[in-house]
A and B are shown apart, each in its own frame.
Chain A
């Protein structure tokens, strides 16, 4: 599926460029975006090192387990495959908390770490497990409490009340997250009903 979409985007783009005469732009875009991708990845080193270092202290001190225990009833229901008090749950919860507060750069390392733990639970297979799909679904719609970037843009353009979209963002993202969980559950149900996996 990903292979198909990935190849299709590039192929459609090339055919489209041939028809529209935008081949120059495509050539430029290829090298510019490849460079951008490396810049982003390298730029993430500082954030990854810092937050993963800090969270390691939190993990060693038992803070993550505590955080996970606090949300146990909720998280257990969402991720029934993950054993109780497994570090994965701690990382999942802290990723969600970081996302809520708009700490995108703290959320990413935590999310990656959660994925890593989930992969270990899945016997290090290269296929996404049920919990991984659930975690991703929740992450892409992520509950947001403070959309900091958007507020600052609104401030720049002279909004009378830059923060007034906090409410709508929170409600919309919460409802979308609930919806995402249902969509995820529907596909899980579809997968298992067929007797696959």
Chain B
């Protein structure tokens, strides 16, 4: 099983590159010229993301560095305990929506502390793997194309994250037991 996963992750990207180049050549696409033309857009997009990302990351990091985030997370604990969820994963669930690097750090820490094959370790891994950092996706995707009014996107994204967290808990509980 593991060998297969490793094999796939090793071969997947080269296979995609090879396939697109082969198919493009066969369809008589000027591959190199198309590549350059498409690539140029990438530079523009990367630069236009900067102000959005700076704004968002600074605000999030003030919130985190001041200790306000820890305070919010402490508030979530009794709620988690009420439905039998280990309170240790609550910070991860909250941070997962806001900051990807912080969440990855927390997941690593939980796995290191409780062991990868513990209930908490498996739950942390599943939470980390099954959702994206909503705030980051929102900032980057909308920032890159200059969307300023997000409509219901943030609400929908956050609710989906909460749902995903609850589902992860029950699935891990059901598949592996406590």
Please give the residue numbers on chain A whose beta carbons come within 8 Å of chain B beta carbons, in ascending order.
1-2, 5-7, 9-10, 12-14, 16-17, 20, 22, 25-26, 28-30, 32-34, 36-38, 40-42, 44-45, 47-63, 99, 101-103, 106, 108-109, 111-113, 115-116, 119, 126-128, 132-133, 136-137, 139-142, 144, 146-151, 153-154, 157-169, 171-173, 175-176, 179-180, 183-184, 187-188, 191
Nearest B residue (CB) for A18 = B66
Give the A-B contact count at a CB cut-off of 8 A. 342
Query: Are A160's CB and B57's CB within 8 A?
Result: no
Contacts of B108 in A (CB 8 A): 153
Contact residue among A52, A142, A169 (Cβ-Cβ distance under 8 Å from B41):
A52
Known A-B contacts: A40-B53, A61-B24, A164-B122. Give 9 more (CB < 8 A): A45-B42, A49-B43, A55-B20, A116-B144, A127-B149, A142-B132, A157-B115, A159-B121, A168-B168
Complex: A97 Cα to B12 Cα, angstroms: 12
Closest beta carbon of chain B to A53's beta carbon, Å: 3
Complex: A142 Cα to B128 Cα, angstroms: 12
Does chain A have a CB within 8 A of B111? yes
Contacts of A127 in B (CB 8 A): 147-149, 151
Closest beta carbon of chain B to A120's beta carbon, Å: 9
Closest beta carbon of chain B to A134's beta carbon, Å: 9
Closest beta carbon of chain A to B55's beta carbon, Å: 7
Query: Are A173's CB and B130's CB within 8 A?
Result: yes
Complex: A180 Cα to B3 Cα, angstroms: 33
Query: Are B153's CB and A128's CB within 8 A?
Result: yes
Closest beta carbon of chain A to B150's beta carbon, Å: 5
Closest beta carbon of chain A to B134's beta carbon, Å: 4
Does chain A have a CB within 8 A of B104? yes
Closest beta carbon of chain A to B173's beta carbon, Å: 10
Contacts of B53 in A (CB 8 A): 37-38, 40-41
Complex: A33 Cα to B39 Cα, angstroms: 28
Contacts of A41 in B (CB 8 A): 46-47, 49-50, 53
Complex: A179 Cα to B163 Cα, angstroms: 7
Mask, B155-178, CB within 8 Å of A = 1, is: 111011101100110011001100
Query: Are B65's CB and A29's CB within 8 A?
Result: yes
Closest beta carbon of chain A to B177's beta carbon, Å: 12
Query: Are A33's CB and B160's CB within 8 A?
Result: no
Contacts of B83 in A (CB 8 A): none
Complex: A128 Cα to B156 Cα, angstroms: 13
Query: Are A62's CB and B156's CB within 8 A?
Result: no
Check A12/B68 contact, CB under 8 A, given A147-B128, A169-B126.
yes
Query: Are A48's CB and B132's CB within 8 A?
Result: no
Complex: A86 Cα to B30 Cα, angstroms: 22
Segment touching A, from B74-82, B86-94, B135-143 = B135-143
Check A141/B2 contact, CB under 8 A, given A57-B31, A168-B122.
no
Contacts of B13 in A (CB 8 A): 103, 106
Contact residue among B1, B27, B55, B160 (Cβ-Cβ distance under 8 Å from A179):
B160
Complex: A130 Cα to B175 Cα, angstroms: 36
Contact residue among A32, A44, A146, A164 (Cβ-Cβ distance under 8 Å from B49):
A44
